[in-house]
Amino acid sequence: MSMIDDEIILERVSAWGQTIKGFRHEHAIEAIQGGKLILQGLRGKGGDWAHMPARCSTQDAAFAFVAEMALLFWLDDCYDLALLADDELALAVAVLTGREHAAPAHLKGCEVIRQTLAEYAASAAEYQNLLEHTAAYAHALATERERSADNCSYSEYLENGIASIGYHNVLGCLSLLWGLGMPEQMRSTAFRATLRRVCIIGRLQNDLHTAAEECVGPLVANAASVVARMTSAFPVAFVEQELAGHGRLLDRHLATQPLDETWQPLVTILRSIRESYYEKSVQRYRRSSQDA
Amino acid sequence: MSMIDDEIILERVSAWGQTIKGFRHEHAIEAIQGGKLILQGLRGKGGDWAHMPARCSTQDAAFAFVAEMALLFWLDDCYDLALLADDELALAVAVLTGREHAAPAHLKGCEVIRQTLAEYAASAAEYQNLLEHTAAYAHALATERERSADNCSYSEYLENGIASIGYHNVLGCLSLLWGLGMPEQMRSTAFRATLRRVCIIGRLQNDLHTAAEECVGPLVANAASVVARMTSAFPVAFVEQELAGHGRLLDRHLATQPLDETWQPLVTILRSIRESYYEKSVQRYRRSSQDA
């Protein structure tokens, strides 16, 4: 990442995060770790940048991208850990989805990141695309929280997990900054099918990691716990098989419906996130054992 | 079914079936029972026919539809029970998918039903649509047979089960005879999503029935056995939950993407097939206990 200075990005994201209630340093740390991984997908075979940001410097784009990823972690915790009062959360979501434009001082960072991304967006359609995926992400997180006490089937859990994993936002933000044309891609049935499969794979990878770490006490929203509730077992093996199976289904889909050279590397990175990201995550996904 | 005489249809289907090796009377019996159920979807609120066949009499259309359904049962048994030698099966599939046009004497019925449906088809596109779904059905049955010894994940099993349940053929044949426009409908993403969900629901209903009857010895291709292999349990409860969950997902989908008045009754019938069909099935799905 020759053109991105990690320390500078981390400092900017941390300063920005101080204007958001409940924002933690670990959100920024995890975001820069995950963000750098994804940004590799924008580099060509020689390792140089195959794309450049549409409307800002690479440094500014990297800041905005990492800040948005940190925001996704923070929003997830807002639902899981109740960092905000309900009306504060509703307002934050309204700002992040473009329904409100002004935020109070303790949520000012939400307003700032949306203004920044609107300014940096390659097109109005790219910005609209990000807002829509943010709405779907927040809705899925809310559904997960509501459901935790209820019954829900494995397939309903997975359907919701496609949005709650946040990959649409990650790719949407990249697309907005580097002008990758996600709004046009989303009109293709084949592309949506690919993304759907990649998100399921991401969801299962995340859940297997969380189940293995046993880091959040009772696993309220986890594929393994959803299945366990019905089979009186702890079927990590089932979820492992599911993950392998979705991988094969994705391979088969891509064999006949290949992605273009912009999107293929991004999908490859997202698929390998278990090995390249979760294995290295020492902050977010091992929190409770450290906190305990 | 005032305009359809069951006895006459059964006689015609049985006579036709005598020209197909391995065809059993139960294939015709099950087909007329299931077929009459589906045909209710073509009747309006007053119970009268809301649609009429495009190119033949109602009696002829009913014969062709029931024969095609019997053919689906027979083809399923060809793969499950090895009624034909491999080269015979390959030839039958080639005729049924339009790749070959002539069949030998012991498979003549395959040729006849395709000629009949080509003649009765509301349009060339409707006939082509049926051939394509037949190819997908045969491919899914072959995949199920090949996999039975192997490992496959629940999601891969379900993905294949969408085609192996045969609902695309059932609806495709109805559409061909009564001119319901399935080829146009299939161009709609929303319609395909609905059909996909309906097929999953059908697959799970079928598998739960088969699991409950324990009628085919070891359950080689069954959602419950696929899950059981991984969790060392017999998780009918899991599959029951999955069925309920897919039903809720379908409801949610239809709430925003309703079907038109032609397709809604057909989907309603397919969804209720567990209560209205399997519960009454005394032939096909209780075979082994009778044969034993």
As beta bridge partners, residue A49 has A43
Identify the residue among A230, A234, A242, A251 best suited for mutation to test binding to B, counting B beta carbons within 10 A and taking the highest: A230
What average pLDDT does the structure give for chain A? 85
Q: Could you identify the residue written with the tokens 């044969």? A: B291
Question: Residue A50 gets which letter from DSSP?
Answer: S
Residue B40 tokens, joined: 């209710």
Domain count, chain B: 1
Residue B226 and residue B155 in contact, taking contact as beta carbons nearer than 8 Å: no
Say whether B43 sits in a helix, a strand or coil.
Answer: strand
Task: Tell me how close the Cα of A120 comes to any Cα of chain B, in angstroms.
Answer: 33
Residue B278, min C-alpha distance to chain A (Å): 23
Q: What is the mean pLDDT of residues B103-107?
A: 97
How close A243 comes to chain B (CA, Å)? Answer: 8
Query: What angle (nearest 5°) sits at the alpha carbon of residue B49, between those of residues B43 and B50?
Result: 75
User: Distance between CA atoms of A214 and A210, rounded to whole angstroms?
Assistant: 6
Q: Given A155, A227, A235, which is nearest B249 (Cβ)?
A: A155
* A256 has a chain B CB within 8 A of its CB: no
A232/B contact by beta carbon, under 8 A = yes
Residue to test with chain A: of B150, B152, B153, most A Cβ within 10 A: B153
Torsion of CA B212, B194, A146, A213, to 10 degrees: 70
In the predicted model, is pLDDT for residue A100 greater than 50?
yes
Amino acid in position A223: A
- Taking the Cβ of residue B282 and every Cβ of chain A, the question of whether any pair is shorter than 8 Å is answered with no
State the DSSP code for A42: G
Q: Assign B135 to helix, strand or coil.
A: helix
pLDDT band at B1 (very low <50, low <70, confident <90, very high): very low
Spatial distance between the Cα atoms of A9 and A13, rounded to a whole number of angstroms: 6
Which residue from B200, B237, B249 is facing A230, i.e. has the nearest CB?
Answer: B237
Helix (H) or strand (E) holding A245: helix A236-256
With residue B108 as reference, give the H or E element that holds it: helix B108-120
pLDDT exceeds cutoff 80 at A258:
yes
pLDDT tens profile A26-49: 999 999 988 988 888 888 777 788
Instruction: Provide the pLDDT for residue A205.
Output: 83
Report pLDDT for B218: 59
Please report the ipTM that was assigned to this predicted complex.
0.80
Name the residue facing A230 among B151, B159, B241 (closest C-beta): B241
CB contacts < 8 A, A to B, total 67
- A232 contacts in B (CB within 8 Å)? 233
Nearest-Cα residue of chain B relative to residue A192? B189
pLDDT tens digits for A272-287?
777 776 666 555 554 4
Nearest CA in chain B to A248: B156
What is the structure's pLDDT at A279? 67
CA torsion, points B18, B19, B20, B22, in degrees to nearest 10? 40
How many whole angstroms separate alpha carbon A240 and alpha carbon A245?
9
| φ/ψ of residue B85, rounded to 5 | -70, 160
Which chain A residue lies closest to B226 (C-alpha atoms)?
Answer: A238
Pair A118, A54: CB distance under 8 Å: no
Place of tokens 């319609």: B191
pLDDT band at B232 (very low <50, low <70, confident <90, very high): low
Q: Can you tell me the distance from the alpha carbon of B203 to that of B200, in angstroms, rounded to the nearest whole number? A: 5
Cα gap B243→B248, rounded to integer Å: 9
Which of A192-201, A210-219, B237-246 is least confident?
A: A210-219
Q: What percent of chain B has pLDDT over 70?
A: 85
Closest among A126, A2, A119 to A61, alpha carbons compared: A119
Is A1 part of any domain?
A: no
Yes or no, beta carbons of A249 and B156 under 8 Å apart: yes
**Chain B interface, mutation test: which of A241, A242, A249, most B Cβ atoms within 10 Å?**
A241
pTM of full prediction above 0.90: no
DSSP state of B2: T
* CA distance to partner chain B, nearest, from residue A11 (Å): 44
Number of alpha helices (DSSP H) and beta strands (DSSP E) in chain B: 15, 0
Residues in B closer than 8 angstroms to A156, CB to CB, are 245, 248-249
Tokens describing residue A171: 């790719």
Structure confidence at residue A151 as a pLDDT band (50, 70, 90) = low
In a domain, B132, yes or no: yes
> Is residue B256 one of the residues assigned to a domain?
yes
Q: Nearest Cα to B165, choosing from B191, B198, B189?
A: B198
Put simply, whether B232 touches A (Cβ < 8 Å) is yes
Cβ neighbours of residue A115 closer than 8 Å, sequence gap 6 or more: none
Listed residue (B180, B285, B199) closest to B246, CA to CA: B199
Residues in chain A with CB shorter than 8 Å from the CB of B153 are 241-242, 244-246, 248
Q: What is the mean pLDDT of chain B?
A: 85
Q: Which of residues 182-221 of A touch B (CB under 8 A)?
A: 189, 200
Distance from CA of A155 to the nearest CA of B (A): 6
Interface probe, candidates A204, A238, A242, chain B, greatest B C-beta count within 10 A: A238
Q: Is A141 exposed, middle or buried (0-12, 13-18, 19+ CB in 10 A)?
A: buried
Q: Report the residue from A153, A241, A246 with minimal CB separation from B245.
A: A153
Nearest to B249 among A159, A189, A200 (CB): A159
Among A144-148, B51-55, B164-168, the minimum mean pLDDT is found in: A144-148
Chain B residues whose beta carbon lies within 8 Å of the beta carbon of residue A237: 230-231
Q: B3 at the A interface (CB within 8 A)? A: no
Question: B153, A227: Cβ pair inside 8 Å?
Answer: no
DSSP structure string for A170-222:
HHHHHHHHHT--HHHHTT-HHHHHHHHHHHHHHHHHHHHHHHHHT-SSS-SS-
Return residues 93-112 of A near B (CB < 8 Å).
Answer: none
Shortest distance between the Cα of B244 and any Cα of chain A, in A, equals 7
Best A155, A189, A236, A243 residue to mutate vs chain B (most B CBs within 10 Å): A155
CA-CA distances (angstroms) from residue B119 to B4, B61, B70? 20, 11, 19
State whether residue A159 sits within 8 Å of chain B by CB: yes
| C-alpha–C-alpha distance, residues A4 and A13, integer Å | 13
C-alpha separations of A196 from A169, B158, B252 in Å: 13, 16, 18
Range of the domain at A285: 6-291
SS3 A260: coil
In-domain check, residue B1 = no
Q: Mutate which of A199, A231, A242 to disrupt the B interface (most B C-beta within 10 Å)?
A: A231
Q: What gap in Å lies between CA B46 and CA A177, rounded to an integer?
A: 59
A233 and B238 within 8 Å at the Cβ level: the answer is no
CB atoms within 10 A of CB B288: 12
User: What CATH number does residue A261 fall under?
Assistant: 1.10.600.10
Answer yes or no: is B162 within a domain.
yes
**Domain assignment present for B266:** yes
Q: Is the pLDDT of residue A289 over 50?
A: no
Residues of chain A in contact with residue B151, where contact means CB-CB under 8 angstroms, are 241
A246 touches chain B (CB under 8 A): yes
**Domain presence at residue B39:** yes
User: Rounded to a whole number, what is the largest CA-CA distance in chain A?
Assistant: 54
Q: Averaged over B203-225, what is the pLDDT?
A: 70
Phi, psi (5° rounding) for residue B260? -80, 175
User: What is the rounded CA–CA span in Å between residue B129 and residue B121?
Assistant: 10
Measured CA distances, A62 to A53, A97, A273 (Å): 9, 21, 19
Residue A65, pLDDT > 50, answer yes
Residue A223 falls within a domain, yes or no?
Answer: yes
For the cut 60, the answer to whether the pLDDT of residue B282 exceeds it is: no
